[in-house]
């Protein structure tokens, strides 16, 4: 994999301010596969200064939205042209199974770039209307300098979900990827430069938490767009609140999939399972609590166990792999500690629970199903972020809704039933930002996505995702004013 010795700041690859490097370690071999410079506070300061200059002096905010959209479309094409390489790059960085990565970590980002590229020609940034007292223009202007901060689990997807609307708005961006996944971020910087993005509009500062805090607190950052843990989101929200800085947060989840008593498991499980253990279980929207009717509990468990046994665990770069290694040793420690906690709490392991045989190198954990789980247990309340599911019995539809809502999170959820409208009735009662009724599609890029409760603040995707990066201005116009065509 390609190493870097410079940082992308202000449109150029510049000398970093320090000699610190980030080592990218393969989750399969546990060996260092590339290095990149670690951005320091001084590098962040340079990046923010460049972003502020590019915002204040242009041309980016003054170009038409369609022109900005055209740059996004070029980047989308470029990513699509090297889809296989990018998927392997991401799988190599963080262990996402390459078949899944091709679809969700590469194709999906191109759909996001394309969607916002299209909005550049269709979204009404200006609305002239008759106000109560006279003609009015409501115009939507870019928020300014944006700090985009992402975790490692779906790195390019999250970069696309923040950079596309932020850049389309005319804002300029300092992007801080996670230290586990700096390589795809640097590749994206190269593709943006090739696509003709003006200098300063995007900088990439791979770094850890402390440098992230410096970026969040920087007085010239106007808006923070954060995806990551709820713990970090609370700190960032507090820091932004203290400065009355705009912020949006996409945080953790502990979503419940409800199997209603009329469910056909042969139809439901192929839709549910890819969302229950997706991306090695390292996904905010994973359906990690599975709610089963008490009188069909053993049948459901049996079917789930069968599905899990079919999942091939192994090298993320093998196209047959369904579950790859976890991102890092500390993540495997975390997941294994939750497996111990579950057992101490009285839940039973129905399948998995250990390390897969024959994989001596790499941070692998067997896909694991816990049964006899009570929703008050820590394995049902806390985000494990690994391939671990909890199957929880319920007694009635109302009980299923109660259990689904008995969570500090509210990101996603799903219901499977022979009756779509009964499912929709459940969807309306569960307090989450996204829901699936007899569907395997958790996110629609043209529609809002985000969290209730501790899963976040604000909505990404769709027009809502663009509005996160816009300020509204009302201009009162003189009587009789007519806008020029
Ligand atoms: P994390 O919160 O530790 O780190 C995420 C990013 O924020 C990293 O780049 C990190 O360096 C940075 N960071 C951490 N603390 C910071 C602070 N105080 N100030 C500024 N930057 C800070 O999360 P993680 O462990 O890397 O990622 C996993 C989490 O991300 C899970 O909770 C998962 O659910 C969540 N996630 C949510 C979504 C969503 O759309 N809701 C999507 C993907 C992941």
Domain CATH number, residue 198: 3.40.605.10
Assess contact for 367 and 307: CB atoms under 8 A: no
Q: Which atom of ligand 1 is nearest to the CA of 284?
A: 34
Using the atom order of ligand 1, give the atom closest to the CA of residue 208: 11
For residue 446, being part of any structural domain is answered with no
pTM for this model (two decimals): 0.98
- Say if residue 231 is in the same domain as residue 314: no
Domain that holds residue 352: 256-437
Domain assignment present for residue 304? The answer is yes
**Torsion angle in degrees (nearest 10) through CA of 55, 58, 63, 69:** -50
d(CA 229, ligand 1 centre) in Å: 4
**Ligand 1 neighbourhood includes 353 CB (under 6 angstroms):** no
260 & 244 share domain: no
- In the prediction, which pLDDT does 485 show? 82
Is residue 483 a part of any domain in this protein?
no
The region, left, alpha or beta by phi > 0 then psi within -120 to 50, assigned to residue 359 is beta
Kindly state whether residues 68 and 185 are assigned to the same domain.
yes
104 lines ligand 1 (CB under 6 A): no
Q: Are residues 235 and 299 in the same domain?
A: no
Tell me what pLDDT residue 384 has.
Answer: 98
CA dist 243 and 172 (Å) reads 19
Compute, in angstroms, the gap from residue 216 CA to the centroid of ligand 1.
Answer: 13
Q: Which atom of ligand 1 is nearest to the CA of 460?
A: 40
The span from the CA of 23 to the CA of 36, in Å, is 7
Residue 50, pLDDT score: 98
Query: What gap in Å lies between CA 388 and CA 276, rounded to an integer?
Result: 9
Please count the structural domains in the chain. Answer: 2
228 lines ligand 1 (CB under 6 A): yes
With a 6 Å cutoff on the Cβ, whether 251 touches ligand 1 is: yes
Determine if ligand 1 sits within 6 Å of the CB of residue 252. yes
Using the mean position of ligand 1's atoms as its centre, give its distance from the Cα of residue 222 in Å. Answer: 20
Atom of ligand 1 nearest to the CA of 152: 26
Contacts for 52 with CB less than 8 Å, ≥ 6 apart:
144, 145, 172, 220
308 inside domain: yes
* Ligand 1 pocket check for 250: Cβ under 6 Å: yes
- Give the separation between CA 390 and CA 386, rounded to whole angstroms: 12
Q: How far is CA 365 from CA 55, 253, 297, 327, 329, in A?
A: 46, 20, 25, 11, 11
Quick check: CB of 209 below 6 Å from ligand 1? yes
Q: Which residue has the CA at smallest separation from atom 12 of ligand 1?
A: 209
Query: Does a structural domain hold residue 485?
Result: no
Q: Is 405 in the pocket of ligand 1 (CB under 6 A)?
A: no
Ligand 1 centre to CA of 15 (Å) is 27
| Residue whose CB lies within 8 A of the most ligand 1 atoms, among 48, 151, 206, 409, for a mutation test | 151
Residue 450 within a domain: no
**Ligand 1 pocket, 208 CB below 6 A?**
yes
Q: Which residues are catalytic?
A: 250, 284
Shared-domain flag, residues 39 and 56: yes
Q: How far is the CA of 208 from the centre of ligand 1 (A)?
A: 10
Partners of 140 in the β-ladder: 472
258 burial type by CB count under 10 A (0-12 exposed, 13-18 middle, 19+ buried):
buried
For residues 283 and 359, state if they share a domain: yes
Q: What CATH number is given to the structural domain containing 283?
A: 3.40.309.10
Domain check: are 166 and 30 in the same one?
yes
411 Cβ below 6 A of ligand 1: yes
Ligand 1 close to Cβ of residue 155 (< 6 A): no
Which of 185, 229, 243 maximizes ligand 1 atoms within 8 Å of its Cβ, making it the mutation to test the pocket? 229
Shared-domain flag, residues 54 and 112: yes
Nearest residue (by CA) to ligand 1, atom 37, is: 251
Structural domain contains residue 443: no
Q: pLDDT of the chain along its 485 residues, tens only? A: 999 999 999 999 999 999 999 999 999 999 999 999 999 999 999 999 999 999 999 999 999 999 999 999 999 999 999 999 999 999 999 999 999 999 999 999 999 999 999 999 999 999 999 999 999 999 999 999 999 999 999 999 999 999 999 999 999 999 999 999 999 999 999 999 999 999 999 999 999 999 999 999 999 999 999 999 999 999 999 999 999 999 999 999 999 999 999 999 999 999 999 999 999 999 999 999 999 999 999 999 999 999 999 999 999 999 999 999 999 999 999 999 999 999 999 999 999 999 999 999 999 999 999 999 999 999 999 999 999 999 999 999 999 999 999 999 999 999 999 999 999 999 999 999 999 999 999 999 999 999 999 999 999 999 999 999 999 999 999 999 999 88
Tell me what pLDDT residue 173 has.
Answer: 99
- Confirm if 257 and 272 have CB atoms less than 8 A apart: yes
Decide if 397 contacts 415 (C-beta within 8 A): no
> What's the CA-to-centroid distance between 176 and ligand 1, angstroms?
11
Distance in Å, CA 250 to ligand 1 centroid: 9
**Whole-angstrom distance, CA of residue 435 vs CA of residue 449:** 10
Q: Is residue 444 part of a domain?
A: no
Q: What angle (nearest 5°) sits at the alpha carbon of residue 295, between those of residues 292 and 299?
A: 65
Measured CA angle at 228 (ends 435, 35), to 5 deg: 130
How far does the centroid of ligand 1 lie from the alpha carbon of residue 383, in Å?
13
């Amino acid at each position: 994999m390609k190493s870097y010795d410079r940082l992308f700041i202000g449109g150029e690859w510049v000398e970093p301010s320090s000699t610190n490097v980030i080592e990218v370690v393969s989750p399969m071999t546990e060996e260092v596969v590339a290095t990149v410079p670690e951005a320091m506070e001084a590098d962040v300061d340079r990046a923010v200064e460049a972003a502020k200059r590019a915002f204040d002096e242009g041309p980016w905010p003054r170009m038409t939205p369609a022109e900005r959209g055209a740059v996004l479309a070029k980047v989308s094409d470029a990513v699509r042209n090297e889809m296989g390489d990018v998927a392997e790059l991401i799988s190599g960085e963080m262990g996402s199974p390459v078949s899944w990565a091709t679809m969700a970590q590469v194709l999906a980002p191109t759909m996001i770039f394309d969607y916002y590229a299209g909005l550049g020609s269709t979204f009404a940034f200006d609305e002239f209307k008759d106000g109560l007292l006279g003609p009015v223009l409501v115009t939507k202007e870019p928020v300014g300098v944006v700090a985009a901060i992402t975790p490692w689990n779906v790195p390019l997807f999250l970069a696309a979900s923040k950079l596309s609307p932020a850049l389309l708005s005319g804002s300029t961006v300092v992007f801080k990827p996670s230290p586990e996944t700096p390589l795809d971020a640097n590749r994206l910087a190269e593709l943006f430069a090739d696509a003709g993005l003006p200098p300063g509009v995007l900088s990439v500062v791979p770094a850890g938490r402390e440098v992230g805090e410096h970026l969040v607190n920087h007085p010239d950052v106007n808006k923070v767009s954060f995806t990551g843990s709820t713990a970090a989101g609370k700190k960032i929200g507090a820091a932004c609140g203290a400065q009355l800085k705009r912020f949006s947060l996409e945080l953790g989840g502990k979503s419940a999939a409800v199997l209603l008593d009329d469910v056909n498991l042969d139809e439901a499980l192929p839709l549910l399972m890819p969302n229950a253990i997706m991306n090695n279980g390292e996904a905010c929207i994973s359906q990690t609590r599975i709610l089963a009717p008490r009188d069909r509990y053993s049948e459901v468990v049996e079917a789930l166990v069968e599905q899990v046994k079919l999942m091939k665990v192994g090298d993320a770069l093998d196209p047959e792999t369904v579950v790859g290694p976890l991102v890092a040793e500390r993540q495997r420690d975390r997941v294994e500690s939750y497996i111990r906690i579950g057992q101490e709490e009285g839940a039973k392991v129905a399948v998995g629970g250990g390390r897969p045989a024959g994989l001596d190198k790499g941070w692998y954990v067997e896909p694991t199903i816990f049964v006899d789980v009570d929703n008050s247990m820590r394995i049902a309340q806390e985000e494990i972020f690994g391939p671990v599911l909890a199957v929880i019995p319920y007694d009635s539809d109302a009980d299923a809704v109660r259990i689904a809502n008995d969570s500090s999170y509210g990101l996603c959820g799903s219901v499977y039933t022979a009756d779509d409208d009964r499912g929709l009735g459940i969807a309306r009662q569960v307090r989450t930002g996204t829901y699936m009724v007899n569907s395997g599609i958790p996110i629609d890029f043209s529609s809002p996505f985000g969290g209730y409760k501790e899963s976040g603040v604000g909505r990404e995707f769709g027009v809502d995702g663009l509005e996160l990066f816009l300020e509204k201005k009302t201009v009162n116009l003189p009587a009789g004013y007519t806008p020029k065509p």
